[in-house]
A and B are shown apart, each in its own frame.
Chain A
Amino acid sequence: MKVGKVAVIGDADSVLGFRGIGITVFAMSDPKEASKKIEELSRDNYQLIFLTENLAAQDPEIMKTYNEMKEPTVILIPSNKGGANYASSLLSDSVKRAVGLDFLNIDN
């Protein structure tokens, strides 16, 4: 059983609380900085990285890159400014890519 470190990246207001449960927090608001940080963290045995949606939405390349890689796992979380639904739209995209049509939104 391997042990992986966990980090949260996002704007300070949204992610500070994660310190309270012992997760490493990197507060930043620049997507370029964030993508650099993720790269750095992935070399440093961070397996699970939570990233706020509004940061990821500003640089689509980040999620594009890490969704194809086996590790690290980068997962989007809503920031305190509301989700902006970026994560859901990414999910729909991957469904579209895999199935050929987006049945998630058809349901709604």
Chain B
Amino acid sequence: MAVMRVNPNRMELLRLRQQLNVARRGHKLLKDKRDELMRQFLAIVKKNKALRDEVEELLTVYNQAMILARAVMPEQVIESALYAGHDNFYVQMKTKNVMSVTVPEFSLPATGDLKKAAKNTNTEQQSNGVDQDKSQQKTLLPYGLSGVSGELDQAILALQQALPAMIELANIEKTTQLLANEISKTRRRVNSLEHRMIPDLEDTIRSITMKMEENERANTTRLMKVKDMILEKEILERRQRNEKLEYQTNNQ
């Protein structure tokens, strides 16, 4: 029970009533929003977990291959091989709207670009009549094949396989996080409306109505009292007049 400090008059009462209406409507809307957010969140969080497990598995494969590569080659060879390529990797980015939460949506660049890049670096192998699929896989390796052992190739290929899942994980995980934030924000709002604002408004409105009724009653009693006093005075005057008249007639 917490009554706000407002003047108990009709103006305030009307204002508070309107505020209560708005608060109730907002509460209902926010509750609906929270429920829907929760529904979407639950769907996505399961997916997130599965995807994370998948990515961890794929990257374990990569890490194991990398350890093998390190075992068979000196560090410098690996480093120089890997730094030979250029870092031109980029992702395409869109934004998506999930329940008015803007989430990023990454996707791998169109395969056309990769193919073009592949052709440029690997025309030689293709002309040698190497199987198309195989050459495509190999073309994505940034280094020359001489001097580098196959273990590193395995690691890089494992990483390439993991990449789509990693991008997908990035989408899902960011969405999960942003949704979680939005849910906790919405829930706070719903709770503060439900447990604080609406009861407070109701209490205040009740207390104002009671105060006003009390004033009304006080006014009535005061009027009655005044009326009584006036009547009494009138009666007294009339009695005096009557007595005077009686006295005069008796004397005559």
Chain A residues with a Cβ under 8 A of chain B: 1-6, 13-14, 16-25, 47-48, 50, 67-68, 70-71, 73, 75, 77-80, 83, 87-88, 91, 94-95, 97-99, 104
| CB-defined contacts of A98 to chain B, threshold 8 Å | 38, 41, 179-180, 183-184, 187
| CB-defined contacts of B142 to chain A, threshold 8 Å | 19-22
In the complex the two chains form, what is the Cα distance from A19 to B142 in whole Å? 9
**Structural contact, A97 and B156, CB atoms closer than 8 A:** no
| CB-defined contacts of A83 to chain B, threshold 8 Å | 56
**Structural contact, A97 and B184, CB atoms closer than 8 A:** yes
Stretch at the interface among B8-16, B82-90, B216-224, B225-233: B82-90
In the complex formed, the residue of A with least CB distance to B179 is: A98
**Structural contact, B91 and A4, CB atoms closer than 8 A:** yes
Count A-B pairs with CB separation below 8 Å.
137
| CB-defined contacts of B187 to chain A, threshold 8 Å | 98
**Structural contact, A104 and B156, CB atoms closer than 8 A:** no
Task: Knowing A3-B93, A24-B89, say if A91 contacts B159 (CB, 8 Å).
Answer: no
In the complex formed, the residue of A with least CB distance to B86 is: A22
Interface residue B201 (Cβ < 8 Å from any Cβ of A) = no
In the complex the two chains form, what is the Cα distance from A76 to B226 in whole Å? 83
Partner of B173, one of A6, A68, A75: A75
